[in-house]
Amino acid sequence: MKTILILRHAKSDWDANYVGDHERPLSTRGQKFSSRMGRYIANVGPLPDLIICSTALRTRETLERVMHAGDFPPVDVRFDPTLYMATYDQMMSCIAAVPDEMDTVMMVGHEPTTSLFAGQLIGSASIRFPTAALARIDLNVEHWRSCRTGVGTLAWFVIPKIIKNRKRAAT
């Protein structure tokens, strides 16, 4: 069995001074929620063996904060320019190339691809990824190249606001 963690970048700052959409940074809320998601991943697991991240600034900043807040151990991180504006087929090609010794992969990307990719993996479902949303999908495959529509089971789906509310309820 293989596992994919799919993370949409956190909230970006539309009012920031940037040149082109690729260079749009995170907002203050996006920074806070990225850290929250990093702590969540560290507490719930599994931690990824490999992280594949879009090259856009907001995805790189999201990943940096996730890894720092979650105190991730050293992990192979690959920045893939095709994940910016990726199609479903590009996401599948990216996954098919993952070495089989990697059991858990985290992909950090954008909408609408994160929703489409997750939905197809679990069988043509409709999933909407708000910013900083995270899904764990368990794949009923032994080899990454065997990944295709419908081989996954959604183990969980979480957004930062739920984590905050859950935390408050426990105190």
- What is the chain's pLDDT, residue by residue, as a tens digit (171 residues)? 999 999 999 999 888 877 787 888 899 999 999 999 999 999 999 999 999 999 999 999 999 999 999 999 999 999 999 999 999 899 999 999 999 999 999 999 999 999 999 999 999 788 999 999 999 999 999 999 999 999 999 999 999 999 875 543 343
Give the pLDDT score at 170.
40
pTM: 0.92
Give the pLDDT score at 55.
97
Q: Which domains does the chain show, CATH number per domain? A: 2-170 (3.40.50.1240)
Separation of alpha carbons 25 and 40, rounded Å: 22
Give the pLDDT score at 45.
92
